[in-house]
């Protein structure tokens, strides 16, 4: 995946990601890392707004799943279904949200379900760091639907 | 609470809320309703980006708690600690996030703990509607700390 193309596509499709200053740092099938500067995402305490942290994390997970689907023959779109976010420390600098690839077995089951039923659900873990410190974690569930569903 | 003053304060302190087009529709100690148009919060499916929905909901809960604290003699600031968000339906129009006041007993316990220990935790429920339909719910935990802590 070309990072520039992924970034352009995110900014075009989700204008809030551009307002947040989102940059694509890593975009491979193994992980996606999205970064965002503090200034457009700051809160009243001069730390990152929790809503920005959650949004960046959800977008990182979505980008990873979407990118992995693009490597298959399946044409599908993905939406976030649920998210469980924990804020562990205040983020005093720019944000980096890293989405981790699912286990191979979970991915195989997901693809098989999607091919058979036109719909499948996948849980992904995302960690958000600031200045190297873990500031938030997200466990999110995404649902993919084959196009035409 | 003057809605205009609350809106101005949110936009100034949390610039992303201005980028989202956040408006304060209701701001009373019983509930806070924040609205946002679809356009700045849209996704690749022409529905609301989940990150925007989550951010608006977290902000509604935070605004309610902050406003309730302002009615007490306690000087404290509040941050979001955790959020459990469920996306129930795609939002095809503008968003309205309504934060519900806590039960009286939970509020009394929260204030007593805050006064005694300088720190207290409160759970709040937020519902997000679009065109009257419930599109998302958030159960969030906020932590308030008396100033100086």
pLDDT tens digit string along A110-119?
Answer: 999 999 999 9
Distance CA B47, CA B131 (A): 12
Tell me, yes or no, if B46 comes closer than 8 A to chain A by beta carbon: no
Query: Mean pLDDT throughout A43-59?
Result: 96
Facing B14 at nearest CB: one of A15, A43, A83: A43
Distance (Å) from the C-alpha of residue B13 to the closest C-alpha of chain A? 5
Facing A43 at nearest CB: one of B13, B42, B49: B13
Is B83 in Cβ contact with A42 (below 8 Å)? no
pLDDT of residue B149: 53
Candidate from A69-73, A123-127, B15-19, B116-120 with smallest mean pLDDT: A69-73
Distance CA A16, CA B49 (A): 8
| ipTM summary value | 0.96
For the cut 60, the answer to whether the pLDDT of residue A139 exceeds it is yes
Query: Is the distance from CB of A118 to CB of A146 less than 8 angstroms?
Result: yes
For the cut 90, the answer to whether the pLDDT of residue B144 exceeds it is yes
For the cut 90, the answer to whether the pLDDT of residue B147 exceeds it is no
From the candidates A55, A56, A136, which should be mutated to test the interface with B, based on the most B CB atoms within 10 A? A55
- A149 falls in which pLDDT band (50, 70, 90)? low
pTM of the full predicted structure?
A: 0.97
Distance CA B3, CA B127 (A): 20
Query: Mean pLDDT throughout B108-115?
Result: 98
For the cut 70, the answer to whether the pLDDT of residue B121 exceeds it is yes
Is A83 in Cβ contact with B83 (below 8 Å)? yes
Nearest to A32 by CA among A2, A56, A64: A64
Residue of chain B minimizing CA distance to A20? B16
Query: Mean pLDDT throughout A11-22?
Result: 96
- Which alpha helices (H) appear in chain B, and where do they start and end? 3-13, 15-19, 50-70, 104-117
Query: Mean pLDDT throughout B111-138?
Result: 98
Nearest to A50 by CA among B121, B126, B106, B141: B141
Mean pLDDT of chain B: 96
Nearest to A42 by CA among A96, A90, A97: A90
Distance CA B139, CA A110 (A): 28
Residue of chain A minimizing CA distance to B60? A51
Angle, vertex CA B119, rays to CA B117 and CA B123, nearest 5: 130
Domains in chain B, CATH or no CATH each: 3-146 (3.10.129.10)
Distance (Å) from the C-alpha of residue B132 to the closest C-alpha of chain A? 20
């Amino acid at each position: 995946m070309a990072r520039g193309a992924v970034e352009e596509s995110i900014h075009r499709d989700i204008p809030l990601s551009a307002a947040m200053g989102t940059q694509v740092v890593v975009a491979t099938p193994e992980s996606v890392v999205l970064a965002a500067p503090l200034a457009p995402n700051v809160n009243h305490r001069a730390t990152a707004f929790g809503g920005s942290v959650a949004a960046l994390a959800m977008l990182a997970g979505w980008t990873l799943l979407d990118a992995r689907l693009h490597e298959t023959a399946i044409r599908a779109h993905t939406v976030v279904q649920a998210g469980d976010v924990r804020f562990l420390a205040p983020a005093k600098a720019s944000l980096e949200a890293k989405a981790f690839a699912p286990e191979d077995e979970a991915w195989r089951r997901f693809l098989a379900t999607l091919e058979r039923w036109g719909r499948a659900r996948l849980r992904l873990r995302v960690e958000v760091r600031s200045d190297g410190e873990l500031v938030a974690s997200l466990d999110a569930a995404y649902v993919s639907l084959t196009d035409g569903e």
